[in-house]
Amino acid sequence: MSVHKLHTSDKAESHSADGALLSLRGLGLAVPAGKEWRPLVEEVDLSIGRGEAVGLVGESGSGKSMTARTVLGLTPPGARVTGEIVFDGTPVTGADQRALRALRTRRIAMIFQDPRAHINPVRTIGDFLTEAMIANLEVPAPEAAARAVRLLADVGITDGERRMRQYPHELSGGLLQRVMIASVLAVEPDLVLADEPTTALDVTTQSEVMAILDELRRERGMAMLLITHDLELAAATCDRLAVMYAGRIVETQPATALTSTPRHPYTSGLMLSRPSIDAVVHRLPVIPGRPLAAFEADDGCAFAPRCAHAQGLCHEGRPPVQELDGARVACVRAGELTLQGES
C-alpha cells in the first residue's frame, strides 16, 4: 500500500544546524565485549530543527534505535558515549541522572515500538495516562483525568471514559499505540523520539496512526525523530531523511529529493526493494548479502561487500561525508553515479 505525502515544509529545504533544537556531533556508542569495545554507533552527525520531522531509516541492526536511546541516556550497562549531544543549546553528553530525568519528564518524550512492553499490564489506561501529569506536572487528579479523556479523543479513541477504566490487554495493538501517543502528548514535549511506532500494526492502522501523530505534532509545534526501516513511510511523514548503515549515517537529504534522487547506493537499494502499486514485477529487487553492525565493518566502506558499484577505492578507507547538490552523502563515487529511486 502506498503512503501518500501528508505534508510539505519549507524548513526541509532551508534547514541549518545553527540554532537546531537537537544536534548530534560525532556521536558514538560502544559497549564492552571482554577486553575490547564493540561499537554500535559511530560518528553520527544529525540535527533537528524546532518543529521539524526527521526520519532515521535503515535495516535492523543499523544503530537507529541506539542513536535515539543515547540521546536520553538509555544506553546498555557500561556503555561508552563519545561525541556531543546538544539539546536546545545545552550539552547533554555526560549529564547526570537527575538532569536526564528532567529532560525525559518535560522536554523529550519517546514512543516505543511495542506498547505492550511499556505499559504496565496490571494498571488501567487511566492510571498510565494520568501518572506523569500528576507526578511530574503537579496537575490535580480530576483535571488530569479530564485532560486524558481529551487526549484520547485527539488520537481518535472515542468513549474515553470507558477506555480509561480498561486494562492494556483489552485494547488492540493499534489502540494501545494511540494510547502511547496520547501519553507523550500529555507532557507537551519539545521533541518526540518515535522508535518504530507502527512496526506491530497492519498497513491500514499504520497509516492512520502516523497521520494522527503527524497532525498532532504540527498542531503543537513539536519536533520529531522518526526511526523506521520503512523508507516510504518516513518520506510521507518527514521533512528530511537520514539513512543509516552499520552505525553510520550514509546519506541525508530533504525527503522529496532523497526519494527521487538518491545519492548513495544503499538508499537506492532500499527504494527499489519497496513494492509499488504502479508496477507489476514477478520478483522484487533485493540488496544481496546481509546488513552489518558497526562492529562487523572493516576499514573500508561498510556497504562495499553488498554494493554493485564498489571498486578498489571503496575498500581503502571509510568514505568521508561530502556535500553534493544539497545532499550529504558518504560515498566516494556519489558524484559519478546515477542511481534510481522511486518511479
Q: Please check whether residue 234 lies inside any domain of the structure.
A: yes
Residue at 90 is within a domain:
yes
Reported as a pLDDT band with limits 50, 70 and 90, residue 227 is: very high
Question: According to the model, what pLDDT value does residue 343 have?
Answer: 44
How many Å apart are CA 227 and CA 214, to the nearest integer? 14
Length of the chain: 343
The CATH number covering residue 108 comes to: 3.40.50.300
Supply the DSSP symbol for 330. Answer: -
Supply the range of the domain harboring residue 55. 11-122+167-251
In a domain, 298, yes or no: no
Q: Is 301 a domain residue?
A: no
| pTM of structure | 0.87
Output phi, psi for 330, to 5 deg: -105, 75
Helix (H, G, I), strand (E, B) or coil at 94: coil
User: Do the bridges between strand 191-195 and strand 108-111 make them parallel or antiparallel, or are there none, so unpaired?
Assistant: parallel
Split into its structural domains, the chain has a count of 1
Average pLDDT over residues 64-87: 93
Type and span of the H or E element at 180: helix 173-186
Dist. CA 120–CA 114, nearest whole Å: 12
Does 222 reside within a domain?
A: yes
Please report the DSSP string for 213-241 in residue order.
Answer: HHHHHHHHT-EEEEEES-HHHHHHH-SEE
Task: Name the DSSP class of 80.
Answer: E
316: three-class secondary structure by DSSP = coil
Q: 5-19, 112-126, 321-335 — which is least confidently predicted?
A: 5-19
Cell of 325: 547538490
Check whether 40 has a pLDDT greater than 70. Answer: yes
**Considering the domain boundaries, does residue 159 fall inside one?**
no
Q: Any idea what the Cα angle at residue 118 is, between residues 114 and 124, rounded to 5°? A: 115
Least confident window among 9-13, 84-88, 171-175 = 9-13
Q: How many Cβ atoms sit within 10 Å of the Cβ of residue 241?
A: 28
Rg (CA), the chain: 21
Instruction: Note whether residue 198 is domain-resident.
Output: yes
Q: Is the pLDDT of residue 246 over 90?
A: yes
- Asked if the structure places residue 133 within a domain, the reply is no
Residue type, 87: F
Q: Using one digit for the tens of pLDDT, what is the confidence trace for 283-340?
A: 778 888 899 999 999 889 999 999 989 898 899 889 999 999 889 999 999 888 778 6
pLDDT of 101? 86
Q: Shortest CA distance to 69 belongs to which of 214, 227, 221? A: 227
Mean predicted confidence (pLDDT) in 170-194? 90
Write the CB contacts of 97 (distance below 8 Å, at least 6 apart in sequence): 73
pLDDT at 282: 67
- Give residue 278's pLDDT: 63
